[in-house]
Amino acid sequence: MSKVAFSQESLSEFERIVAQYPERRAAMLPTLYLAEKEFGHISPEVEVYVGELLQVPAIKVREVLTFYTLFASKPRGKLHFQVCRGISCDLRGCTKIIEHLQEKLNLNSEETSADLAYTLSEVECLGACETAPMMQLNDDYHGDLTTETVDLILDEKK
């Protein structure tokens, strides 16, 4: 038996999700999203639990978790800055934005601050190249970035 469990609310959401697919295992990605929402990140215990829910060995969960970039297997900062380093953003100066954020947050790329306030990542094209340079901050896109607009966003979110 796993050491963690969904709340009643997540459990009924899980049942709703599973019912959408002809096979139970197909609910893997949505269940991992649900688990991340409930537990903050996907620890090895959560992997085991998700495996039990989907009736697949935990290794199948691990295999998925490590293949995709969006799931957090370690705690992430409350504000997750994902700056696009794709070709269109590169042409329009994303390097400056990345360096500016590194300095402001006092982090290297792919690092999380010790107080779990910030995570800084460089990511591939986010599908908003018309607004390059751009970034995703948690769930929202911010485009046409300059060091000044980045500062404004930082002040607002702090």
User: What ranges make up the beta strands (E) of 66-117?
Assistant: 79-84, 111-112
134 binds, among another protein, ligand FES, none (CB under 5 to 8 A by kind): ligand FES
Contact status: 129 vs ligand FES (CB under 6 A): yes
Report the alpha-carbon distance of residue 124 to residue 89 in Å, rounded.
10
Minimum CB separation from ligand FES for residue 64, in Å? Answer: 25
> Which residues lie below 8 Å from residue 153, measured CB to CB, with a gap of 6+?
137, 142
Report the alpha-carbon distance of residue 141 to residue 134 in Å, rounded.
7
Site of interaction with another protein (CB under 8 A): 20-23, 25-30, 32-33, 54, 56, 60, 63-64, 67-71, 82, 85-88, 90-92, 123-132, 136, 139-141
Minimum CB separation from ligand FES for residue 92, in Å? Answer: 8
